[in-house]
Amino acid sequence: MNSFSEKKIKTNNMILILDFGSQVTQLIARRIRELGVFCEVKNFNISEDEINEINPRALILSGGPASVFEENAPMIEKNIFNLNLPIFGICYGEQLLCQLLGGKVEKSFEREFGKAEINIIADSPLLSGVINKQVWMSHGDHISKIPDGFKAIAKTPKAPFAVIANEHKKIYGAQFHPEVVHSLDGKKIIKNFVIDIAKCIDDWSMKNFKDQEIANIKKIVGQKKVICGLSGGVDSSVTASLIDQAIGSQLTCIFVDHGLLRKNEGQEVREIFSKNFSGDFIYVDAKDLFLKNLSNISDPEQKRKIIGKTFIEVFDQQASKIKDAEFLAQGTLYPDVIESSHPNNGVSQTIKSHHNVGGLPENMQLKLLEPLRMLFKDEVRNLGRQLNLPQKLIGRHPFPGPGLAIRIIGEITQEKINILQEADNIFIEEIRLANLYDEIWQAFCVLLPIKTVGVMGDARTYENVLALRAVNSIDGMTAEVYNFDSQFLCKVSNRIINEVRGINRVVYDYTSKPPGTIEWE
Ligand code: XMP
């Protein structure tokens, strides 16, 4: 299927980031967008013609895991340096530009990883206003000679060319990662490059995006009809709301309730829709069908497959009733767009393969409308605010497509779903009461198929164990455990054991990702 919202942001007031595979390339993009400047991430092997077509104000060469002198190391066309664009190479990007412009990069005996302190040794607009000298290093190779026309503007004890500059050509390099928070004035360095050196204007805002995108959707869709699958999550709700504001009555939203949502969530989605949308809404109660298809299934991957397949069947059946629909709207976000075109995406693709519940049938002969495909999650939330969607919806923690099915370890029954919904509701309620909800990236409960002995009153109990999980993360790829106060956990545990029949023991999961995953299945 073709996406119809792909090449729509036409501006030359933007930065193009060439991605050499660093784990933190997306952070560069986020930092630039936070400055109010649009940017895009493209594979390093983009051609000179494509760059010309995009017509950016400047280029950033990202970091990456390779060594510039390795065979098959990711390279760029040398001509790119003759485009007269300001260029900022970060880590691998710095080494690459050195190598290509006549400097020298060598293997180090020791990897430099972690915090370092830069010493600014020459004035440069790139480092103007940098006060905090702490930066974050992560490199194996080092530059031993810089190209003609360059000078070192900052050094560290281990990196004499920590920051280099060719002021005349506006080409810069940093050995460290200014985009990560541990580089304390890294944002300032990026700002200096984007605003002062590349002369970008800060005109990227969700208010502007909303207006442009509504006009864009109107133009693309014309008088045709659009179908949109709502999941109750932020991405699909914002997608639907944006399209609704553009073409209202030509939109039909389909909400398949698989019965594996959080407590009351199905009802909440219906209410939000009836209050905020003018298009049509189809609510499909498919709880029984999902439960039937999942009966006696314990294997997590099988659960995902069954849910995905059932979802498609139910959705397809409803969608086919809408005559003359031409577009299918999806809440695809920018990280997925970047990842799916990434050169080293073997790993991320396997991780993603199980995230596609709600993926839609290939044979649907519909054109894809993906109005959020240029946005990061925080931008989507901002856009949701511009669209006046309720904060409770916009700020909601991520929720997996297969829902509670992968939080009930082992076989799924209606009784277990009810128990988990009740327990989860108490955990989230207490988190909200303690004002912690927005501090936590994702919090939920997991129902374990383990029974343990307990006492309640004078009676012996023999019931299930429930695990509480709360993590902080940027994108779900890594996560750290959220540290609650122990009194808080005691309170949640007491409430759950007292109020939810079927649970007599509550434990807290202290596993970070890696080595764990966020979900238990
Ligand atoms: P893991 O468990 O892989 O989770 O560390 C990372 C993030 O992805 C979510 N997740 C899923 N989302 N379908 C989804 O739509 C899935 O099958 C799925 N599995 C995990 C998880 O909730 C976390 O936010």
Kindly report each contact of residues 492-498 with a partner whose C-beta sits within 8 Å and lies 24 or more positions away, as own/partner. 492/426, 492/427, 492/430, 492/468, 493/468, 495/426, 495/430, 496/423, 496/426, 496/427, 496/445, 496/466, 497/454, 497/456
143, 151 in Cβ contact below 8 A? no
DSSP state of 27: H
Whose CA is closest to atom 7 on ligand 1?
476
Question: Looking at the chain, how many residues does it have?
Answer: 521
Pocket test for ligand 1, best of 256, 518, 520 (most atoms within 8 A of CB): 518
**Comparing 4-18, 181-195, 381-395, 407-421, which segment has the lowest mean pLDDT?**
4-18
**398 closest CA partner among 503, 328, 500, 469:** 469
Per-residue pLDDT for 353 more than 80? no
Mean pLDDT over residues 193-216, rounded?
Answer: 96
* 384-430 per-position pLDDT tens digit: 999 999 998 999 999 999 999 999 999 999 999 999 999 999 999 99
237, 253 in Cβ contact below 8 A? no
Q: What is the pLDDT of residue 210?
A: 97
The finding on whether 338 has its CB within 6 A of some atom of ligand 1 is: no
The finding on whether 400 has its CB within 6 A of some atom of ligand 1 is: yes
Residues with active-site annotation: 91, 177, 179
- Predicted confidence band of residue 342 (pLDDT cuts 50, 70, 90): low
444, 404 in Cβ contact below 8 A? no
* 480-515 per-position pLDDT tens digit: 999 999 999 999 999 999 999 999 999 999 999 989
Cα(280) to ligand 1 centroid in Å equals 30
Q: Name, in order, each residue with C-beta under 8 angstroms of 181's C-beta and a sequence gap of 6 or more.
A: none
Mean pLDDT over residues 81-103, rounded?
Answer: 97
Which position has the higher pLDDT, 376 or 342?
A: 376
Residue written as token pair 């607009």: 125
Cα-based distances in Å from 223 to 182, 321, 324: 50, 18, 10
Identity of the highest mean pLDDT range in 7-21, 135-149, 429-443: 429-443
Q: What is the pLDDT of residue 351?
A: 33
Q: What is the pTM of this model?
A: 0.83
Pocket test for ligand 1, best of 235, 407, 482, 519 (most atoms within 8 A of CB): 519
Per-residue pLDDT for 127 more than 70? yes
Mean pLDDT over residues 134-152, rounded?
Answer: 94
Q: Name, in order, each residue with C-beta under 8 angstroms of 56's C-beta and a sequence gap of 6 or more.
A: 12, 14, 15, 16, 40, 85
Q: What is the pLDDT of residue 354?
A: 36
Q: What is the pLDDT of residue 13?
A: 94
Per-residue pLDDT for 285 more than 50? yes
Per-residue pLDDT for 343 more than 80? no
Per-residue pLDDT for 225 more than 90? yes
Q: What is the pLDDT of residue 5?
A: 53
**Cα angle: 118, vertex 119, 125; to 5 degrees:** 90
Q: What's the one-letter identity of residue 339?
A: E
Q: Cα separation of 422 and 290, whole Å? A: 20
- 348 Ramachandran zone, left/alpha/beta (phi>0; psi -120 to 50): alpha
Whose CA is closest to atom 6 on ligand 1?
476
Share of the chain above pLDDT 90, in %: 82
Q: What is the pLDDT of residue 478?
A: 84
Q: What is the pLDDT of residue 349?
A: 31
Q: What is the pLDDT of residue 335?
A: 85
Which position has the higher pLDDT, 4 or 347?
A: 4
Residue written as token pair 């990711």: 74
Per-residue pLDDT for 336 more than 90? no
Do you find a cis peptide bond into 371, omega within 30 degrees of 0? no
Cα(273) to ligand 1 centroid in Å equals 25
Q: What's the one-letter identity of residue 290?
A: F
- Predicted confidence band of residue 56 (pLDDT cuts 50, 70, 90): very high
Cα(519) to ligand 1 centroid in Å equals 6
Query: Token digits for 118?
Result: 């830069």
Q: What is the pLDDT of residue 341?
A: 58
Mean pLDDT over residues 257-285, rounded?
Answer: 93
Mean pLDDT over residues 100-120, rounded?
Answer: 90
Whose CA is closest to atom 9 on ligand 1?
400
Cα(147) to ligand 1 centroid in Å equals 46
Pocket test for ligand 1, best of 258, 347, 355, 356 (most atoms within 8 A of CB): 355
The finding on whether 403 has its CB within 6 A of some atom of ligand 1 is: no
67, 141 in Cβ contact below 8 A? yes
Q: Whole-number mean pLDDT of the chain?
A: 92
Per-residue pLDDT for 359 more than 60? no
Residue 70 Cα to chain centre, angstroms: 31
Q: Name, in order, each residue with C-beta under 8 angstroms of 104's C-beta and a sequence gap of 6 or more.
A: 98, 143, 144, 145
The finding on whether 401 has its CB within 6 A of some atom of ligand 1 is: yes
Helix, coil or strand: residue 85: coil
Q: What is the pLDDT of residue 111?
A: 79
Per-residue pLDDT for 221 more than 90? yes
Query: Token digits for 306?
Result: 């069954």
- Predicted confidence band of residue 79 (pLDDT cuts 50, 70, 90): very high
Q: What is the pLDDT of residue 347?
A: 31
Mean pLDDT over residues 227-246, rounded?
Answer: 95
Q: Ligand 1: which atom is nearest the Cα of residue 351? A: 3
The finding on whether 167 has its CB within 6 A of some atom of ligand 1 is: no
Share of the chain above pLDDT 70, in %: 93
Q: What is the pLDDT of residue 214?
A: 97
Q: Are strands 225-230 and 171-174 parallel, antiparallel or unpaired?
A: unpaired
